[in-house]
């Protein structure tokens, strides 16, 4: 990419898309294109077609998606499957028809089997059953991966797929009904501290192990991959180590400064027992994360707008 290349960032207002925009701007890229969801409905095939015919971007970062935590994934199953399928199919196909030079599709670590060998290698894809609570979202993301693979095979399109681990950072979603675990914990502990609550209840047993990557590290990886990677196989983007939900909750509790009790509700689902990515392929290419989890949580907590909580 040149600094004047026309680059479309789909999902630029989301946590991942906004981080990619910041990275590109910091690198001196000036010809960035984006649309809000009100300006362009990515599930609308004709609208996406008209956008690509009009704008003719040279590069595409596909970070737009319908996303949520374990609760949202389990409740809005049809919506998550339909909307993500439509977004991926429309953007990837129109990128092909418009002659886009390169596209990066962002998936999710939930594409891998629930009981995949740990750490999870890229070859684990489609080798076992998925975690039931987020199966629709995972199936949609797998379809996006396969679209990139098959358009590369059939048409020679330079479309690549990256699978990030659990993310956190600026512009995260803090809605307690639909957010992921880390932002939900930050909000819960902050609200409990402000309200003088004696305890905070956390979903599940606290035993599942999770890996977390700051979204600014992911943006660095996406930029690196767009510049240095061209292969049909998906590539993992992870931090390299994990911790239990209990350890995560205790860390967030300390950062926020909540002094009450931590209670785990074992009646709520745990999800996949362990989900650590094998990111050795990406490390061998020369990329590695920079932001430590504790430092990352501190920076997020200090910067997030808590006025609506």
Please give the Cα distance from 93 to 103 (Å, whole number). Answer: 11
**How many residues are present in the chain?**
309
Nearest alpha-carbon partner for 147 in 177, 209, 210, 104? 104
Point out the annotated binding site. Answer: 11-17, 106-109, 141, 164-167, 180, 188, 203, 210, 270
pLDDT in tens, 85-97: 999 999 999 999 9
In order of 107, 169, 189, 196, the CA distances from 257 in angstroms are 34, 19, 8, 12
User: Mean per-residue pLDDT for 208-215?
Assistant: 96
Give pLDDT, residue 146. 98
pLDDT in tens, 107-129: 999 999 999 999 999 999 999 99
**CA dihedral sign, ordered 296, 222, 211, 129:** positive
Residue reference for tokens 């650590």:
276
Nearest alpha-carbon partner for 105 in 68, 151, 73, 71? 151
Give pLDDT, residue 89. 98
- What is the CA angle 166-169-175, rounded to 5? 80
The DSSP letter of residue 93 is H
Give pLDDT, residue 72. 75
- Percent of the chain whose predicted confidence (pLDDT) is above 70: 100
Point out the annotated binding site for substrate. Answer: 188, 203, 210, 270
Q: 270 pLDDT band (50/70/90 cuts)?
A: confident
7-171+212-240+275-291 belongs to CATH 3.90.10.10: no
pLDDT at 177 over 90: no
- Give the count of alpha carbons within 13 A of 149, CB side only: 11
- What is the CA angle 141-144-149, rounded to 5? 130
Q: Which residues on neighbouring strands pair with residue 261, listed in sequence order?
A: 199
pLDDT at 71 over 80: no
Please give the Cα distance from 272 to 295 (Å, whole number). Answer: 26
In order of 176, 208, 252, the CA distances from 266 in angstroms are 18, 12, 20
pLDDT in tens, 238-250: 999 999 999 999 9
Provide the strand spans (E) within the chain.
Answer: 7-10, 32-33, 59-62, 102-106, 159-164, 166-168, 199-203, 209-210, 212-214, 235-237, 243-244, 261-265, 274-275
Please give the Cα distance from 26 to 298 (Å, whole number). Answer: 23
Point out the annotated binding site for NADP(+). Answer: 11-17, 106-109, 141, 164-167, 180
Cis peptide preceding 119, ω within 30 of 0: yes
- Give the count of alpha carbons within 13 A of 262, CB side only: 20
Is residue 25 exposed (0-12), middle (13-18) or buried (19+ Cβ within 10 Å)?
A: exposed
**CA dihedral sign, ordered 3, 6, 11, 12:** positive
Q: Write out the catalytic residue numbers.
A: 137
The residue that leads in pLDDT, 271 or 149, is 149
Parse the chain into domains and list their residue ranges.
Answer: 7-171+212-240+275-291
């Amino acid at each position: 990419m040149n600094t004047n290349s026309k680059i479309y960032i789909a999902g630029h207002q989301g946590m991942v898309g906004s981080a990619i925009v910041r990275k590109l701007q910091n690198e001196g890229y000036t010809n960035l294109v984006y649309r809000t969801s009100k300006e362009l409905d990515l599930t609308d095939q004709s609208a996406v077609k008209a956008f690509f015919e009009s704008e003719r971007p040279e590069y595409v970062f596909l970070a737009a998606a319908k996303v949520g935590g374990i609760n949202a994934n389990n409740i809005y199953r049809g919506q998550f499957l339909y909307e993500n399928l439509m977004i991926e199919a429309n953007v990837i196909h129109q990128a092909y028809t418009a002659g886009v030079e390169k596209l990066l599709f962002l998936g999710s670590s939930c594409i891998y089997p629930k009981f995949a060998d740990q750490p999870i290698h890229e070859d684990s894809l489609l080798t076992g059953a998925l975690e039931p609570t987020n199966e629709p979202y995972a199936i949609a993301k797998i379809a996006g991966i396969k679209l990139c693979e098959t358009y590369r095979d059939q048409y020679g399109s330079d479309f690549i797929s990256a699978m990030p681990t659990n993310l956190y950072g600026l512009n995260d979603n803090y809605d307690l009904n639909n957010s992921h675990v880390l932002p939900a914990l930050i909000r819960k502990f902050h609200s409990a501290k402000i309200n003088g609550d004696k305890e905070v209840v956390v979903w599940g047993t606290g035993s599942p192990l999770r890996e977390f990557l700051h979204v600014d590290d992911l943006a660095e990886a996406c930029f690196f991959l767009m510049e240095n990677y061209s292969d049909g196989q998906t590539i993992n983007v992870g931090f390299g180590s994990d911790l239990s939900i209990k350890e995560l909750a205790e860390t967030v509790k300390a950062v926020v400064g909540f002094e009450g009790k931590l209670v785990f509700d074992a009646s709520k689902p745990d999800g996949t027992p362990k989900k650590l990515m094998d990111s050795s392929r990406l490390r061998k290419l020369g990329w590695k994360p920079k932001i430590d989890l504790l430092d990352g949580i501190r920076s997020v907590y200090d910067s997030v707008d808590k006025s609506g909580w």
